[in-house]
């Protein structure tokens, strides 16, 4: 993991966008289309940070920032790179960058059944602040989490 770099995605980086799309499809049943990912890059309040190991995209994080608040929309690591601490390093780096930009509070939603993600967020200072019943479908609730920077 010493060769891990976390960088913002640029609009012209089609190769990385396709790698993000592949990770997205492997990670979420309601995955974004390539067109949706391209739209994310064009939104003034949206940014994508990419984790690269030895030049290969191994994870990403999509955030929306509005004034002094941010929301994490997606964070995912390629299946073959999970359980190596990359997600935690990516999240900590993104939170550090947000703090430097004077963001004060960060929000997210996560399935209460996604124990690895919930534990990751808790380990980075997030607290559960609410629940949305059946948010991800019948019987799958969302936990609302936030942290102060």
Token duo for residue 53: 């190991």
Active site residue 21: no
Choosing from 109, 135, 136, 146, which is the catalytic residue?
109
Q: Which two tokens stand for residue 95?
A: 């939170």
Distance CA 21, CA 35 (A): 10
Q: Which of 75, 51, 52 is nearest to 62 (CA)?
A: 75
Reading the block at residue 78, the tokens are 């390629």
Distance CA 10, CA 109 (A): 26
Listing DSSP states for 73-127 in one string gives: EEEEE-GGGTTSSHHHHHHHHHHHHHHHTT--EEEEEEETT-HHHHHHHHHTT-E
Catalytic site includes residue 32: no
The residues annotated as belonging to the active site are 109, 121
């Amino acid at each position: 993991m010493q060769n891990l770099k976390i960088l913002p995605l640029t609009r012209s980086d089609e190769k990385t966008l396709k790698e993000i799309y592949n990770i997205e499809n492997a990670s979420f049943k309601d995955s974004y289309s390539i067109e949706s990912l391209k739209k994310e890059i064009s939104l003034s309040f949206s940014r994508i940070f990419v984790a690269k190991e030895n030049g290969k995209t191994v994870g990403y994080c999509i955030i929306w920032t509005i004034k002094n608040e941010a929301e994490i929309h997606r964070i995912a690591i390629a299946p073959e790179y999970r359980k190596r601490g990359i997600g935690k390093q990516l999240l900590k780096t993104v939170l550090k960058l947000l703090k430097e930009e004077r963001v004060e509070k960060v929000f997210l939603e996560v399935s209460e059944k996604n124990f690895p993600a919930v534990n990751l967020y808790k380990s980075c200072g997030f607290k559960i602040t609410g629940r949305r019943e059946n948010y991800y479908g019948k019987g799958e609730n969302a936990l609302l989490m936030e942290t102060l920077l």
